[in-house]
A and B are shown apart, each in its own frame.
Chain A
Amino acid sequence: MVLEETVHPYYLRKHNILSKAYINGTGCISPQNTIDSDWFFDSINPAKGDYFDAIEPSYKEFIAPNLLRRMGRAIKMGVAAANIAIQQAETQKVDAIITGTGLGCFEDSERFLLAMLNNDEQFLTPTSFIQSTHNTVGSQIALIMKCHDYNFTYVHRGFSFESTLQDALMLFEEGKETILIGGIEEHTPNFIILNRKALKFQEVLTDRPIWKSSTPGIQMSEGTAFFVLNKTKTSKSLASVDGIQTLYKPKTAADILNKLVAFLKLRDLSLSDIDVTLMGFSSDVNFDSKLQELLPAIEEETVAACYKNVCGEYHTASAFAMWVATKIIEKQKLPKVLMISDKEPDSIKNVLIINQYLGINYSFTLLSQC
């Protein structure tokens, strides 16, 4: 691939780079046993054929029973993961709550929709409508924490979680100290049935790794990951977030590589400084083709790895990837099940995530040891 110097004159201005932030706590609910803080890819739950279900914790530990009774699954997963992240960071107060979700509280939306359709718009109760709004998780957390500060919810497909991170980095420059961000996604049995009918799924064949898929179809999944970010490094800091950039509909793999090189150059890095690159292969060849084309260039300079083979595909899978990146840095080990490259990294200082969603929404997230 030929690299071109096509960056805009404004693009290389130093003030465009947002300062790094520190991850002080994480909470993750996923198809794997991520709720257990000691778990580190020692045993892996396979997909249920063509989709994954999240392993949900016993919520009583995290949510008061009177609240729990009414909450939909996305809200429960979100509030619990936020709670775990806050406990780990040992913080009582956050200055902003920012959530990202592609489909929001889908279960409640569907419940209200079906009740409306089945009863010809009669005998409806408001609870599921109230909880169907996309900002429900963020506002429930604000209610529980009595947080009157900044509260935002992003709902843009494969940029939903990326937008929370971008926003947090800007808020730190505006003076905020501690920010809670998270990605949330839930699926429902009907949603799985319909997507299967629309031929969006496939059962990944065991003889072919996820990064070598030659057929269309993803493995639909769900999950939530929350992070307590801090403006300054503290004794609790697990890793730093050094940058985030989204790419909307890049035309070619070379286009992605050009942007990646520029993204790293702005931070005085090159690809060879990256120890591990987590790549968002989804098993759908149509969506993965640019990453497949990019893989040799990545493998030449860094150790390539994947994550959707263990978490499946969903709008905010990049939040799971950031949880994995944090864990890899903390443990200084790249689990075998994620490895694409044969070689193991010598030490793990810089971890890059290249996520893609439907081959339309791409993002770079850079994390470092701190």
Chain B
Amino acid sequence: MSQKIYITGLGMISAIGNNVPESFLSLSQSKTGIGKINHLTTRYKDEFLAGEIKLSNSDLADLVKDNNPALNRNSYIAMLAAKEAVINSGIDTNDGLRTGVISSTTVAGMGKTELYYKELFEKDDHLDVLDTHDCGDSTERIADYLGNVDYVTTISTACSSAANAIMLGCRMIKHGQLDRVVVGGVDALSKFTFNGFNTLMILDREWCKPFDENRKGLNLGEGAAFVVLEGENALNLRKGKPLAEVAGYANANDAYHQTASSPEGYGATLAIKQALTMSGLKTDQIDYINMHGTGTPNNDLSESMATVAVFGKQVPKFSSTKAFTGHTLAAAASIEAVISVLSLQNSMIFPNLNFTTPIADMNLIPETKLVNTPLNIILSNSFGFGGNCSSLLFKKA
């Protein structure tokens, strides 16, 4: 059980770039990807902002080099990000070791289903959406795109999904079930999720302002991010190079409300504390926290309370990077895992954009400018509907 787990490859596509180098450029230039809605069809197109990937479906098909009409936006972006991670790591899925793919999504094929659903009852043209609507579809597309994958599964725990995929990947290796695993999450924008969040009245019409007293809600984003996890045995066998170590993880449940977080952030506190306990790290060893920080009044207050509950007066430097990417739901935690590894590698804290006034009584002030500072340990939080709270700890390799 003591095998160390390393991140050895990164892949990401979101509003801030179609790959990891582009994403890094946007982050280091403090350039948000959130803007006017171009690709999503919705009557609210001109009223709200979103973090869209800047490519159309046919652009994505060209990049994936597959014109299979059954592929949807969720699958395209998942395949691209997973492939980038595998190429980046240098692993060869044909070498006989056991490779897994553990993905996560909330929207799955809904983005295509919603376009044709009513038509399905009258015509026969798009009945293939019945086969691609479910969450497992994009995961199996990834597996087949990579080739020689022994194990697949998919997780859906709302906005904490990808954190749980990373956690499960680590555990599968530690228990000797797999030698390495491509883990992450994907969610393309859909009218369904957009309207869902709109009915909950937690969308900001302006740029989101995480941790600001006057925050009004979140901006939705879309994206996919995957990392390659390898146990030290498999990594040593091929003499590979680690990018970072997964030093700890934990999953807890707030058990407070189906959508809202408890005011005191009980579940979040549990997740952070348990991840620290597992890693054997002390609170003063955490150099930076990549917060969940969606920009909703409820989440940011609850997360602030949890942060103070764990760290007391010595809260580490922190920021939410959701004002760059928008809230990418199931992909959020893996996008933020990639961002955390980029932070460790480049000794950079990426800023919490759009912040001006701290939340009354909390007095927590995020980093609002790019900070160049050596980083050894990063905590990354992800919380979701259903009280699902997960925290991950990344260590410089």
Contact = CB atoms under 8 A, between A and B. Distances in A.
A312 interface: no
B97 A10 contact: yes
B385 A194 contact: no
Contacts of B153: 154, 156, 159, 163, 246
A336 interface: no
B285 interface: no
Contacts of B176: 10, 13, 15-16
B109 to A, nearest CB: 11
Interface residues of B, number: 69
A102 B134 contact: yes
A133 B387 contact: no
Contact of B199 (A15, A113, A120, A129): A129
Contacts of A341: none
B192 A157 contact: no
Interface stretch (B14-22, B81-89, B135-143): B135-143
Interface in B108-125: 108, 110, 113-114, 117-118, 120-121, 124
A136 interface: yes
A248 B178 CA distance: 14
A121 B152 contact: no
Interface stretch (A140-148, A234-242, A299-307): A140-148
Contact of B113 (A11, A113, A129): A113
A112 B199 CA distance: 11
Interface string B178-219: 010000000000011001101110000000000000000000
A15 B176 CA distance: 7
Contacts of A114: 117
A68 interface: no
B386 interface: yes
Interface string A117-158: 100111011100111111110111011011111111111110
Contacts of A104: 135, 156
Contacts of B113: 113
Instruction: Give the interface centre of A112, A114, A134 by most chain B CB atoms within 10 Å.
Output: A134
Contacts of B266: 148
A121 B195 contact: yes
A148 B270 contact: yes
A7 to B, nearest CB: 10
Contacts of B179: 10
Contacts of A126: 196, 199-200, 259
Contact of A18 (B105, B106, B175, B200): B175
Interface string B272-301: 000000000000000000000000000000
A117 B117 contact: yes
A220 B359 CA distance: 52
Contacts of B130: 194-195, 198, 200
B135 A155 contact: yes
Given A121-B195, A133-B106, 6 more contacts: A8-B97, A109-B192, A112-B195, A154-B156, A194-B120, A197-B127
